[in-house]
Amino acid sequence: MEYQNYRLYMQDFYSARKDRSGFSWREFARLAGYASPVYLKLVCEGKTTLSEVGIERTAGAMGLVGTELRYFRVLVRFNQEKEAAKKKEYFKELREIAKSCRVSIVGEERYDYYQSWRNPVVRELAPMMPRASSADLASQMISKTSAAEVKQAMKLLTDAGFLVKDKKGNWKQADSSVSTGNLEVASLAVREMHRQMGELAVESLESLPPEDRDISGLTLGLTENGFNRIKNEIAEFRRHIVAIAREESDAEFIYRLNMQLFPLTEKISQEGSDE
C-alpha cells in the first residue's frame, strides 16, 4: 500500500526477486501463465496492460492474498482507467482498503487539498490574519463561505501539515508552495480545483467591477509546434508571477490567476486545399 502505481510495484517485486535468486522475466511470466516471456516486462514499461484475468494471474505469481490482493486489483483498475469519474471511485476504494489496515496512501493529503478551492485560500489567508477566528476568515471570502467550511479547511490543512502554529500561536505555512509533483492521485483532484476556480472566474464577471479584475482571452489558429511554444511561454510566465508574489512581504488580498489554453476544434486536415 506504499504504492499508487501497480507497474512500479511489479517492477520492484521483480527486481527484489532477481537480486535474491536470479529471477527472470521468463520465470515471472511462466508463474503468471503467460506464453510470452516478456509480457510482464512490457506491462511494467507501460506498453501493454493487464486484463481482469491477468490481474488474478499476476497477483498469484507475486503471492498476494487477502487485503494486499484486494488493493492490487483496485490499483490496477485505477491506473488503467481513463475516465476521471471512475478513477475517483477506484481511488475512494483504495483509501477504504488502506484505512481498514490503518495505512495512509502516499499523496492522499494532496488529493484532499485540491478537492475545494477554499483550502488554498485559507492556507494563504490564515497567516495574514493572526489569531482570527473561523468566522473572521470566512467573512473575508468574496464567494459565500461559512465558518464551518473554514473550520473544515483548517482541520485538513493542519492534519496534512500544510499549516503549523509558531511559538506565538500564529499560523505559518510549512512550505512556500504546494505541488502535486508526480502523484497521480493529486493530479486527478486538480481537475476539480480547476473546475471550481473556473466557476469563480465566471462569477467575478458579474460580482466584481472591471478595475478589480483582469480577464481577457485570445482565439488563435496554431500548429502543434506553435501550441508547444506557447505552453513553454506560459510556464515561464508562471515562474515570473510566482517570483513577484514571493517578493511581496505584506499581502493585502488573495488572488487567483487562471491560465487556460485549450483546443476549440479537432485537428484540421489540409488535404485537398488549394496551393
User: Domain with 49 in it: what CATH number?
Assistant: 1.10.260
Q: Are residues 134 and 94 in the same domain?
A: no
Cα distances from 248 to residues 9, 158, 241, 243, in angstroms, run: 43, 24, 11, 9
Q: Show which of 82, 103, 124 is a domain's final residue.
A: 103
Please check the confidence at residue 55 and state whether its pLDDT lies above 90. Answer: yes
The pLDDT value given to residue 197: 93
* Residues of the domain holding 164: 113-216
Q: Are residues 212 and 132 in the same domain?
A: yes
Residues 6+ apart with CB under 8 A from 253: none
129 within domain boundaries: yes
Q: Are residues 70 and 117 in the same domain?
A: no
Q: Which three cell numbers stand for residue 199?
A: 466557476
pLDDT band at 168 (very low <50, low <70, confident <90, very high): confident
The pLDDT value given to residue 35: 95
The pLDDT value given to residue 161: 87
Q: What percent of the chain has pLDDT over 70?
A: 95
User: Domain with 193 in it: what CATH number?
Assistant: 1.10.10
Q: What is the pLDDT of residues 141-153, one digit of tens each?
A: 999 999 999 999 9
Q: How far from the centroid of its chain's Cα atoms is residue 186's Cα? A: 2
Q: Are residues 178 and 225 in the same domain?
A: no
Residues 6+ apart with CB under 8 A from 263: none
Q: Are residues 97 and 171 in the same domain?
A: no
Q: Are residues 97 and 10 in the same domain?
A: yes
Q: How many independent structural domains does the chain possess?
A: 3
Please check the confidence at residue 274 and state whether its pLDDT lies above 70. Answer: no
Q: Are residues 174 and 239 in the same domain?
A: no
Separation CA 104–CA 119 (nearest Å): 20
Q: Are residues 201 and 188 in the same domain?
A: yes
